[in-house]
Amino acid sequence: MTRRVPVSTYRLQLGADLTFDDAAALTGELARRGVTDLYLSPILAAAPGSTHGYDVVDHSRISEVLGGRDGFERLVGAAREHSLGIVVDVVPNHMAVPTPASHNAQLWSLLEHGPDSPVADWFDVDFSDDAQVLMPILGRRVGAAMAAGEITVQTLDDPENRITPDRPVLCYYEHRFPIRAGTEHLPLAELLQRQHYRLAYWRVANEELNYRRFFDVGSLVAIRVERPEVFEATHALVLELMDAGLVDGLRIDHPDGLADPRQYLQRLHERTGGAWTVAEKILEPDEELPPDWPVAGTTGYDVAWRINQVLTDPAGGPPLGALMTELTSDVVGTLPAVVAAAKREIATGSLYAEVHRLSTLLAELCDDDVRLRDHTLRAITDCVTELVVACERYRAYVVPDHPLAPEAAALVQRWAAEAAEHLEPERLETLEVVTDLVLGREVGSAGRQHEARRDEVIVRFQQVCGAVMAKGVEDTAFYRWTHLTSLCEVGGSPHRFAVGPDTLHAWASRAQQHHPHTLTAASTHDAKRGEDVRARVGVLSELGEAWVQHVRALRTATEEIRPADLDGRTENLLWQTLAGTWTEDGPLSADRLADYLVKASREAKQWTAWTAPDLDREAALERFVAALVTHSDVHALMGAWVERTREPVRVTTLAAKALQLTLPGVADVYQGTETTTVGLVDPDNRRPVDHARISAMLDRLDAGAGPQNLAEEKLRLTTALLRLRRRRSDAFVGPDAAHHALPTSTTHAIAFARSAGDEHAVVTVATRLSVVLRAIGGWGEHSVVLPAGRWRDVLTGHVTDGGDTPLASLLAASPVVVLERADA
């Protein structure tokens, strides 16, 4: 059976405001825009009130909030009427710890029966020494909560929360927990001691949590999908939907959190008959997708940052760096130190429980082996901490009972060498032992290399590395580093300020050769800022000196209202966020801008944090923002900036979209981004999209009207390219599709052709760094060599002959042109 490969996808973030029936009503319109497949956020039953669906509570049911099985089938039926495929987001790594817990039947069973639960093996819980599963949900220490009467035993009839009156439950405000049989009538203190779980103050979690979670999110408990019975139970419904022809492809959420991503993906590949599947995988610039992963590719972070940075002007690095130093004291070139410090804070803070669990396991192994007994828990903890801090990617992909790949060994040894620089000499022998154990090498007494606990060390080390990377880099350091904030995106590479066209072509060539059906994305549900905000911020690199002067003018204008103790990193982020979000329509609302800055500051964990918010300074920041967005001088300055950057913003916005939609891979459009949007991090990426407005705009454009603004210009370009992809799918995702860089006489143009077999079918030419280009007098005599033949502009219909073509004429009407062969 030949499985469907999408040509383009349209990401829909489902929820109470966008149900299956709502999505079904959009299918005709999305097909008109050129989309070939719907790309749905998770569809399984999620925790009550879930806004995203990644907190699954029941793998056997489709979400009733979204419309249930019937609603899903209605959506599929509507999609099929318009020849649309269905791609579904799958979450294999974790389930929710919902409130109340009764919504997760497997977790409820675990809490009630402990290690004797028939589903105990679903969860990665440490039950050693009769330990209780830590439930850190109390607002104060347990003794104080008991004394205040906040923890009670009650008999409830609450069918909505799946609680029946035949068994009493333990209650703490809205939380409900099962009570171990035979302990119902004990005094409260004894009853709590006798449960298979332990109610605890929420701050205890980081130090004593004994179940693996999703990063440091205690409300998401990891599941052991590596066990065949867990895989079958958690994937039965999705596989049934695929076998029934209701689902065509899959997006796999965070496979690096699994015990063995390769095994999981291979099992999934076999069970789906090789369905199109992409994995959410963050790749470092020098890292390739593991070749033994049977997937079409990634979810697109790897191409997104390259497109962003090929449109970033390296000349902006020094002046923006000097401004960063002036405001924050951070210095260009010190990002690695910022990252290391953030990761060390995470490893010794919010993820200490995970580091401690791994270190304790290593210490037990050493204690059991007479040759290793002198390596203490404290020494091992120090070594593990520095090793995970040195790890600069999510995994090394060492697999128990498999030969150790030389590349993986060299990678971990490099981390160990870096870790050694931060350890006392006395610790270095311990570091060697820890390194050998996490690599699965024989160390200590002979013959113990493949013991189960040693295999667990290999797996758990890599899971901790990924968690520390995610929380330390994307969720901490990237909120601290403000050189150019558009570079600090999930999966991004701000270590490189900018890249040239050759770097983008090199990626495209590798992708076309190894993963021609990878997903290409510009915006995602995890993005820290939307693609159009990134484009506006990126333009600062083209006007570095002017931006420095602009910020100084803003600071002078706001000197009397700016808090005296405003954090420098927060301030630099604020000014760049203004540049990214202030449009012809003015600024973001004060509430939205303030909420974003407070969230970003809490993520940065410098002067305020989620676990220790400085409410007074946050309030001062909020007051400053409220005064800022109504300040007449700020309005005048920002209005002038918007006017000054109108054309470079237009160039960057359109160039980024044209590149993303025509480079190798399956092109994704995140809901609403076919036109311009002003969006930051959550909840902006889940807000309702005004499809009626977009449809009305498209009606005008399809009737022959010209675009009136950048929003319409982007919509015209996006729909034209999606329709082109559908029309010439052979050149984009066909078996003989190819990517060819085209010669240009200037690096201000990026040009390439997409081919089907021996025939060049589509050509893309995009402008980059337009400010400098204009300063040197424009295109002048520069040209691009188009393939032989006749070429039609997909926007204007203008026909051009192949050969050496002046860029000034080719790009006279637009900063980008996409040509379709006219003489086929």
Averaged pLDDT score across all residues of the chain: 96
Domains in the chain (CATH in brackets) are 8-93+225-299 (3.20.20.80), 101-221 (3.30.1590.10), 342-475 (no CATH), 733-824 (2.60.40)
What residues form DSSP beta bridges with 792? 799, 820
Token pair of 322, please?
Answer: 């000097």
Q: What is the mean pLDDT of residues 787-810?
A: 97
HSE-up of 203 (CA within 13 Å, CB side)? Answer: 7
pLDDT digits (tens, 9 = 90+) for 364-382: 999 999 999 999 999 999 9
Question: Quick one: tokens of 279?
Answer: 């994995």
As a 3-state breakdown, the chain gives helix, strand, coil percent values, each rounded to 5, of 50, 15, 35
- Helix/strand/coil (H/E/C) assignment for every residue in 392-446: CCCCCCCCCCCCCCHHHHHHHHHHHHHHHCCCCHHHHHHHHHHHHHHCCCCCCCC
Report which residue type is found at 224: R
The pLDDT value given to residue 218: 79
pLDDT value, residue 2:
73
Stretch 623-634: mean pLDDT, rounded?
Answer: 97
Q: Give residue-wise pLDDT tens across range 114-170.
A: 999 999 999 999 888 788 999 999 999 999 999 999 999 999 999 988 899 999 999
Q: What pLDDT is stored for residue 1 in this prediction? A: 58
The pLDDT of residue 206 is 86
Q: DSSP readout, 297-339?
A: EESSHHHHHHHHHHTS-GGGHHHHHHHHHHHH---TT-HHHHH
Q: Residue 252 has what pLDDT?
A: 98
Give the number of other CB atoms < 10 A from CB of residue 469: 25
Q: Is it the case that residue 95 has pLDDT exceeding 90? A: yes
Sheet holding 169-172, edge to edge: 151-154, 169-172, 175-178
Mean pLDDT, rounded, for 432-452? 89
Instruction: Output the pLDDT for position 209.
Output: 84
Work out the average pLDDT over 437-456.
Answer: 88
Q: Which two tokens stand for residue 289?
A: 């997708």
pLDDT tens for 572-607 read 999 999 999 999 999 999 999 999 999 999 999 999
What are the tens digits of pLDDT across the range 630-650? 999 999 999 999 999 999 999
Q: What angle do CA 593, 595, 596 make, to 5 degrees?
A: 65
What is the spatial distance between Cα 741 and Cα 656, in angstroms, rounded to a whole number? 17
Cβ atoms of 305 and 293 closer than 8 Å: no
Percent pLDDT > 90 in the chain is: 94
pLDDT at 555: 98
Between 452 and 37, the more confident residue is: 37
Q: What is the mean pLDDT of residues 204-226?
A: 87
The predicted model gives 238-248 an average pLDDT of 97
pLDDT given for residue 446 in this prediction: 81
